[in-house]
């Protein structure tokens, strides 16, 4: 099954919410694992570790004893995202053991990356608000007047007003007047989530923010190099084991997708941008929490010729996103791995898609910050 052969999205008009609920209850795992197109990670478009338990996990910055969702909230992040220096080098991008072959996770190929800087965490609501205040930027979700939200995060009132969902992934509802300041529609706000990643931002919005902040979006190769943080051929930024030391290292889905998220990792939706341990490059939430836009156009064929600072295809219709989100579960969207990838059109926005920026040189205004 190839992403180009099948229209990624088909809208189903729902006569009422009851029909939707019924369909949802009939969801079963077999349906989900077979339907890659319906994966909660890629099907939304505006255009119409238990694997290797024995590996060592040396590459983790663990704050022993403090790991719990509530404990980390004290870390108030700065309003202007700090950047980490990423020393360049060679690495193997992609994987020869792809989970989703159709996503172009493989083959593994040698890539050389030059020194660069990477935002240590996803761009937060507070940071995005600085940008909007300074520029008056209107996001595409605001201009279109809607965005996609995972059904169970919505109030009954908002759910009742929804008329469209994604046929292949009916838990995605198209919500009117939903945007970064109203992440679950008009009756929601971000007051208590200023330190969470901004969501409902399109690739175009993300690129505009990065440019305003003297940065740019990372290439997919830079993003993956930063995710792997010096480890070779590992699944996650810290190693191969999903829950080393029996703790959660990542904001993903626990429970049965999409019926019930137990929130065992502390979060049903997004988490603060500095939640969970950082990787060896001191980067937070490279996997999980929200998908992150990258600069590259999407394609699924890669050649194995070694390359230097690759920037992806010169044109395309979709942009690459990396890292998976709080909605990902191994049974269904096992894409919270460094090699995993997915795509959306550049004008798409949703409640599990954000970004962080990169730069070749550290912007001047960050050079003297603590
Ligand atoms: C999934 O498929 C397997 C094998 O085909 C079958 O035994 C099982 O009952 C199915 N599960 C559900 C929930 O349909
Ligand atoms: C943005 O502007 C609003 C309205 O003036 C203000 O209340 C808010 O604090 C500003 N946000 C930031 C992050 O400075």
Full pLDDT tens readout for the chain, 370 residues: 333 333 333 333 332 322 333 333 323 333 333 333 334 445 677 764 222 233 334 444 444 333 333 333 333 434 467 899 999 999 999 999 999 999 999 999 999 999 999 999 999 999 999 999 989 999 999 999 999 999 999 999 999 999 888 888 889 999 999 999 999 999 999 999 999 999 999 999 999 999 999 999 999 999 999 999 999 999 999 999 999 999 999 999 999 999 999 999 999 999 999 999 999 999 999 999 999 999 999 999 999 999 999 999 999 999 999 999 999 999 989 999 999 999 999 999 999 999 999 999 999 888 875 5
Say yes or no: CB of residue 164 within 6 Å of ligand 2: no
273 near 120, Cβ under 8 Å?
no
Region at 41 (left for phi over 0; alpha for psi -120 to 50; beta for the rest):
alpha
Instruction: Tell me the sheet residues that pair with 344.
Output: 319
Ligand 1 atom at minimal distance to the Cα of residue 30: 1
Question: Token pair for residue 301?
Answer: 């064929």
For residue 131, the ligand closest to its alpha carbon is 2
Give the pLDDT score at 53: 31
pTM for the structure as a whole = 0.80
- CA 38 to ligand 1 center in whole angstroms: 18
Share in percent of the chain as helix, strand, coil (round to 5)? 20, 20, 60
Which residue lies with its CA nearest to atom 13 of ligand 2? 130
Contact between 40 and 351 under an 8 Å Cβ cutoff? The reply is no
What's the pLDDT at 370? Answer: 52
How many Å apart are CA 334 and CA 100, to the nearest integer?
9
Q: What ligand 1 atom has the least distance to the C-alpha of 31?
A: 14
**Ligand 2 centroid to 131 CA: how many Å?**
10
Please tell me what DSSP assigns to residue 124. Answer: B
Q: Answer whether 126 contacts ligand 2 (Cβ < 6 A).
A: yes
pLDDT of residue 43: 60
CB 174 within 8 A of CB 96: no
For ligand 1, the distance from its centroid to the CA atom of residue 29, given in whole angstroms, is 8
Label residue 202 exposed, middle or buried (CB < 10 Å: 0-12, 13-18, 19+): buried
Q: What is the DSSP letter of 35?
A: -
pLDDT of residue 332: 87
Q: Which ligand does the CA of 256 lie closest to?
A: 1
Query: Distance (Å, rounded) from C-alpha 289 to C-alpha 334?
Result: 14
Cβ atoms of 133 and 203 closer than 8 Å: no
The set of protein residues with a Cβ atom below 6 angstroms from ligand 1 is 28-30
End-to-end CA distance of the chain: 49
Q: Is the CB of 129 under 6 A from ligand 2?
A: yes
């Amino acid at each position: 099954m190839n992403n180009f052969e099948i229209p990624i999205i088909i809208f189903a008009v729902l006569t009422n919410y009851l029909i939707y609920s019924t369909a949802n209850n009939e969801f079963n795992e077999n349906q989900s694992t077979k339907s890659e197109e319906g994966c909660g990670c890629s099907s939304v478009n505006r255009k119409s570790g238990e694997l290797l338990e024995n590996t060592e996990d040396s590459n983790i910055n663990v704050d022993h004893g403090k790991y719990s969702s509530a404990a980390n909230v004290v870390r108030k992040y700065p309003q202007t995202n700090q950047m980490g220096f990423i020393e360049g080098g060679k690495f193997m991008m992609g994987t020869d053991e792809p989970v989703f072959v159709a996503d172009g996770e493989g083959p593994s190929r040698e890539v050389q990356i030059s020194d660069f800087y990477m935002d240590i965490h996803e761009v937060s609501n507070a940071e995005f608000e600085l940008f909007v205040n300074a520029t008056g930027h209107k996001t595409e979700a605001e201009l279109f007047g809607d965005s996609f939200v995972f059904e169970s995060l919505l109030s009954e009132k908002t759910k009742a007003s929804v008329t469209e969902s994604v046929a292949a992934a009916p838990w995605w509802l198209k919500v009117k007047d939903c945007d970064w300041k109203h992440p679950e529609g008009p009756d929601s706000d971000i007051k208590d989530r200023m330190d969470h990643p901004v969501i409902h931002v399109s690739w175009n919005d993300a690129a505009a923010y990065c440019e305003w902040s003297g940065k740019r979006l990372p290439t997919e190769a830079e993003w993956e190099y930063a995710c792997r943080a010096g480890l070779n051929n590992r699944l996650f930024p810290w190693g191969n084991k999903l829950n080393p030391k029996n703790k959660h290292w990542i904001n993903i889905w626990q429970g049965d997708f999409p019926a019930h998220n137990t929130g065992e990792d502390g979060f049903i939706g997004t988490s603060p941008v500095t939640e969970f341990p950082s990787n060896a490059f001191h980067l937070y939430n490279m996997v999980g929490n929200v998908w992150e836009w990258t600069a590259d156009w999407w394609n699924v064929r890669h050649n194995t010729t070694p390359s230097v600072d690759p920037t992806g295809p010169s044109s395309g219709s979709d942009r690459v996103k990396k890292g998976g989100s709080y909605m990902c579960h191994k049974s269904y969207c096992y894409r919270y791995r460094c090699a995993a990838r997915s795509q959306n059109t550049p004008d798409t926005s949703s409640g599990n898609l954000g970004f962080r920026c990169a730069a070749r040189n550290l912007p001047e205004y960050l050079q003297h910050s603590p």
